[in-house]
Amino acid sequence: EDQVTQSPEALRLQEGESSSLNCSYTVSGLRGLFWYRQDPGKGPEFLFTLYSAGEEKEKERLKATLTKKESFLHITAPKPEDSATYLCAVRTNYGGSQGNLIFGKGTKLSVKP
Amino acid sequence: NAGVTQTPKFQVLKTGQSMTLQCAQDMNHNSMYWYRQDPGMGLRLIYYSASEGTTDKGEVPNGYNVSRLNKREFSLRLESAAPSQTSVYFCASSDAGTGSNEKLFFGSGTQLSVL
């Protein structure tokens, strides 16, 4: 069964304390891995797409990496405004023309000043 | 830039009542989606529309119907609401099928409570 597991469920950091969020996946054929940010009461907002093992993408304090079985979202020197729930999603090669997009349950990040 | 607009933002229904959630996008995207988000669970796909005039079932379609009215609009209908349909509903759109442009753009959600 295809699965996407995010850990930890919740993470509390002090401002400036770097850390990583994990997204592990078991799918038969990976077409792409996506990271989204979701603020309370809002819809998810796209951050990154990764397509192949070894690929890395960066945006401000965030860096996403991909291996054959997991992805990491590294947060360097976080600020309180980075507080949000971070969602990982995997698109598979099958499931019609759209592929099948499987979301993880998310990691809720809180950054305290 | 409005992006993806959903209405209403909040709704309370009684069991058995019907309602339609509206969604419109102004990005000229071909594909549109309806998801539900429940506590402790990932986003789950209800229905999607790959292009104007087509709709397909997602992971949890039972109890819902959809209409792709035109390229901009995609509505979700609950014919006879049940408490199990209490959830936050998100509409999304994308330019899926165009290679790297597979990212989804989400609306701000509809919080639905069925009593």
A55-82 per-position pLDDT tens digit: 999 999 999 999 999 999 999 999 999 9
Residue A45 Cα, gap to closest chain B Cα (Å):
7
Residue B96 Cα, gap to closest chain A Cα (Å):
7
Structure token pair of residue B56: 């397909």
pLDDT at A100 over 70: yes
Determine whether B21 is exposed, middle or buried from the number of CB atoms within 10 Å of its CB (0-12, 13-18, 19+).
buried
Residues 6+ apart with CB under 8 A from B43: A44, A87, A89, A103, B35, B36, B37, B90
Say what the pLDDT of residue A92 is.
82
Q: Does B106 sit within 8 Å of A44, measured CB to CB?
A: yes
d(CA A99, CA A17): 37
Structure token pair of residue A47: 């951050």
Say what the pLDDT of residue A83 is.
98
Q: Does B97 sit within 8 Å of A43, measured CB to CB?
A: no
Say what the pLDDT of residue A7 is.
97
For strands B4-7 and B19-25, give the pairing.
antiparallel
Residue from B111, B114, B102, B107 nearest B30 by CA: B102
Residue from B3, B32, B27 nearest B107 by CA: B3
Which residues sit opposite A101 in a β-bridge?
Answer: A91
Q: Does A91 sit within 8 Å of B56, measured CB to CB?
A: no
d(CA B98, CA A45): 19
Kindly report, residue by residue over A9-30, the tens digit of the pLDDT. Answer: 999 999 999 999 999 999 888 8
Between residues A11 and A94, which one has the greater pLDDT? A11
Say what the pLDDT of residue A95 is.
58
Mean residue pLDDT across chain A: 93
Distances (CA, A) of A45 to A35, A67, A68, A86, B20: 9, 23, 25, 9, 24
Say what the pLDDT of residue B100 is.
47
Q: Residues B104, B90: contact at Cβ < 8 Å?
A: no
Say what the pLDDT of residue A96 is.
55
Q: What is the mean pLDDT of residues A98-107?
A: 84
Say what the pLDDT of residue A101 is.
85
Kindly report, residue by residue over A36-49, the tens digit of the pLDDT. Answer: 999 999 999 999 99
Residue from B86, B61, B66, B91 nearest B76 by CA: B66
d(CA B91, CA B109): 7
> What does the pLDDT profile of chain B (115 residues) look like in tens digits?
689 999 999 999 999 999 999 999 999 998 899 999 999 888 999 999 988 889 999 989 999 999 998 999 999 999 999 999 999 999 999 986 555 457 899 999 999 999 9
Q: Which chain A residues are Cβ-neighbours of B50 within 8 angstroms?
A: 96-98
Of the pLDDT bands very low, low, confident and very high (cuts 50, 70, 90), residue A94 is low
d(CA B33, CA B43): 11
Positive or negative: CA dihedral A39, A41, A45, A50: positive
By C-alpha distance, the chain B residue nearest A42 is: B108
